[in-house]
Amino acid sequence: MIFIKRNLLVSIILLVLFGQDAANACSRLLWNNNGSLVMSARTFDWSYSLESMLYINPRGLTMNGGTTENPAEWTVKYGSVTTAISSWLQKQGPFTLADGATDGINEKGLAAHALFLQNTVFEKLEPSKPALTSLRWIRYLLDNFATVEEALAGMNTVDIVPGKIGNNLMRFHVALEDKSGDTAIIEFIGGKQVIYHGHDVRVMTNNPPYDAQIKNLEKYKSFGGQKPLPGNVESTDRFVRLSYFSKFLPATNNPDTASSYLLSTMRTAASPYGAPYASGGVYPTWWTSVIDLTNGLYYFNWTETPNLIKVALPALDFSENSGTRVLDPRRPDLFGTVNNQFLPVSLND
C-alpha cells in the first residue's frame, strides 16, 4: 500500500485541476446599447463545482489585501452582493470569506467579473504601493468604487499579486461596468497593466488576451471576414458567438424580460456537461449570473436547479452593523426574490 502525505496529495490534485486548461473557463457579456437598461451577464465554467455561494457584504468592514508584505488596507465603503468560492477555498488552505469573489455588484451600480486568463503576468511589485491578491481583487473594486472611472483610477494605487491555491497561481483578467453603461477590461500582459475602456468593450472570455480576440473576430462573417459562425466550446469560439448573437437582442425596459433575453444569449456560450475542449478537458458551465445595473438586481441560475433567483439590492440593509450574510444558491427550493433567505456568517469563519 502506498501512502502520500496529505499536503503532497492536495498539491497533486490542485495541479491537475488548476493546470493550463483552466484558461478555458467562463464568458462575460455587457448589454448597454438597448436604449433603456444596462445589463451584464457571465457564466462560470470549471472542471468541477467550486461550491460558489452568494454573499451580502455590508459597509464598514475592515479589509486587507491578503498579501504577506505591504497588504492594502481599506474599510468597505459600499455594500455589495457577490458570488464567491470562499467556502471551497477554506477547505484548501488558510483562506477566509474575504477571498474568492469572482462576480458581483455594489449598491452604487458598479459590477465586476473575474475570469481566468492564463497569459496573465502581473506587474513587478513596487515597494511604495500596497498590494492585494488576485483572490481579493473583485472585493477591492466593489468595496471602494462607484464607477468604472473611479475603479480604474484606484487600480493605479495598488499592485496585484497572483493568489495561490496550492502551488498554482490564480491569473485573472477583470471586466467592469457601471449603471451609466461605461465599461472596461483590465489585463496584465507581459508585466504591464493593459486597459480597454469604452462603451463598446462588451465581450470577454479567456485566452487569448482581448486584443487578439478582437483580431480573431474580424475573420468571421458580419465582422468583416468570411468564416461562418463557430460552434465549439473554445474561448475564441464563445467570444465570436456572444459578439454575434448580442447584436440581435430586442429592446425592452422590463428587467425580468431583459434578464431572460440575456440568459438566452449566454446559453449560446455555455459549456454543456461532458463537452470536451481540444485539450480533452471538460469544463461545464456551473452557473450564470445576470446583473441589471440600472435597477440594482442580481439574477443567478445554478445550472443543476430549475429556477432563476433574484437579489434586489435596493431592499437590502448594507449598514455597518448589518453583518455579512450568505446563501447557498444550489438549494432547489429557491425561487424568485431571495433577499430574506440569506443567513448571518462571520467574515473570519
Split at pLDDT 50, 70, 90, the class of 15 is very low
Distance CA 278, CA 175 (A): 26
Percent of the chain residues topping a pLDDT of 70 = 92
Split at pLDDT 50, 70, 90, the class of 170 is very high
Split at pLDDT 50, 70, 90, the class of 8 is very low
Percent of the chain residues topping a pLDDT of 90 = 89
Q: Give the mean model confidence (pLDDT) for residues 123-146.
A: 97
Distance CA 73, CA 63 (A): 6
CA angle 57, 98, 114 (to 5 degrees): 90
Residue carrying the nine cell digits 440575456: 262
Residue 11 has pLDDT above 90, yes or no: no
**Contacts of residue 16, Cβ cutoff 8 Å, sequence gap at least 6:** none
Q: How far is CA 304 from the centre of its chain?
A: 19
Split at pLDDT 50, 70, 90, the class of 168 is confident
Give residue 93's pLDDT.
87
Residue 135 has pLDDT above 70, yes or no: yes
Q: Give the mean model confidence (pLDDT) for residues 6-21.
A: 41
DSSP label at residue 230: P
- If one compares 20 and 218, the residue with the highest pLDDT of the two is 218
Give residue 10's pLDDT.
38
Tell me the average pLDDT of the chain.
Answer: 92
Give residue 31's pLDDT.
98
Distance CA 104, CA 289 (A): 9
Q: Cis before residue 209, ω within 30 degrees of 0?
A: no
Q: How many C-beta neighbours within 10 Å does residue 44 have?
A: 26
In the sheet where 309-312 sits, what is the strand order? 203-204, 27-31, 39-45, 285-292, 297-302, 309-312, 336-337
Distance CA 276, CA 263 (A): 22
Residue 2 has pLDDT above 70, yes or no: no
Distance CA 287, CA 304 (A): 8
Residue 311, all three cell numbers = 437579489
Among 297, 278, 267, residue whose Cα is nearest residue 179: 297
Give residue 308's pLDDT.
96
CA angle 340, 346, 349 (to 5 degrees): 125
Q: At what angle do helices 235-245 and 210-217 cross, to 10 degrees?
A: 60
Look at 16-25, 81-90, 169-178, 200-209 and tell me which has the smallest mean pLDDT: 16-25
Rounded to 5 degrees, φ, ψ at 267 are -70, -20
Distance CA 273, CA 53 (A): 21
Query: pLDDT (tens digit, 9 = 90+) per residue, 235-293?
Result: 999 999 999 999 999 999 999 999 999 999 999 999 999 999 999 999 999 999 999 99
Among 85, 99, 105, 95, residue whose Cα is nearest residue 25: 85
Give residue 348's pLDDT.
60
Give residue 16's pLDDT.
43
Q: How many C-beta neighbours within 10 Å does residue 19 have?
A: 14
**pTM strictly above 0.85:** yes
Residue carrying the nine cell digits 457564466: 43
Residues 212/240, Cβ–Cβ less than 8 Å: no
Residues 113/103, Cβ–Cβ less than 8 Å: yes
Give residue 14's pLDDT.
41
Split at pLDDT 50, 70, 90, the class of 347 is low
Q: Give the mean model confidence (pLDDT) for residues 323-346.
A: 96
Split at pLDDT 50, 70, 90, the class of 21 is very low
Q: Give the mean model confidence (pLDDT) for residues 192-203.
A: 98
Distance CA 92, CA 85 (A): 11
Split at pLDDT 50, 70, 90, the class of 24 is low
DSSP label at residue 277: P
Rg (CA), the chain: 19
Q: Give the mean model confidence (pLDDT) for residues 44-69.
A: 96
DSSP structure string for 178-221: ETTS-EEEEEEETTEEEEEESTT--EE-SSS-HHHHHHHHTTBT
Give residue 12's pLDDT.
37
Domains of the chain: 6-207+277-344 (3.60.60.10)
Q: Give the mean model confidence (pLDDT) for residues 216-238.
A: 97
